[in-house]
Amino acid sequence: MFEELMIIVTGAPGTGKTTLSRKLAKRFNLPLIRRDDIKELLFDNIGIGDREWSMKLGRTRYKLVHYFIKKLLLTGKPFIVESNFDDENSTKIFLDIKSKHKFKALQIHCFTEAKVLYERYKKRDASGERHQGHIHLLPEFEVYKERVFDSKSYKMSIQDSIYIDIDTTNFELMNMEEIYD
């Protein structure tokens, strides 16, 4: 069995995980598993429903992400996986995968302030570029902050991981060359 590199890009919704993971995948020519890509494929093939339907698809897409991770680990080559993995639910799953497949995890944790995330959420949903299946009524800021935002919960406790925290408050100030190094 190989001990390979899995780059995990995680953080709260709206922290720039997609932007960063796509840049990394392009720069290093690596396969990228994105949870939202899977959900959008499901939306396009079996339809968009209410919030409950979306949550059901959300659980299914996590199972598919884990399935693809296991398959890519068999190749012995590095890859990137991006989602808002949380410590409470995802750590156990990743530790189970690690018990069966040797890999080194590089966790890149994207973070910013709750108010910045909230504004990004509003802008993203209003842009017309977001897949229609993702768009839901955005609660008031205080409700959003309580429900969605807890930056510490988006880091998994996987032994022997390398952790990099990246403040994504201002994308223009991010030094991508430093991140690549």
CA distance 137 to 145: 14
Distance CA 112, CA 132 (A): 25
Dihedral of alpha carbons 127, 132, 134, 137, sign: positive
Alpha carbons 81 and 87: distance in angstroms, whole number: 15
In whole angstroms, give the CA distance from residue 12 to residue 85. Answer: 8
Please say whether the beta carbons of 98 and 3 come within 8 A: no
41-89 pLDDT, tens per residue?
A: 887 788 777 778 777 877 888 889 999 999 999 999 999 999 988 888 8
Domains belonging to the chain, first-starting first, are 4-180 (3.40.50.300)
Sheet with 4-11, side-by-side order of all strands: 32-34, 79-82, 4-11, 103-111, 162-167
pLDDT in tens, 121-167: 777 766 666 656 555 666 677 776 776 665 557 889 888 889 999 99
pLDDT digits (tens, 9 = 90+) for 101-117: 889 999 999 988 888 88
What pLDDT is recorded for position 1?
32
- 78: three-class secondary structure by DSSP: coil
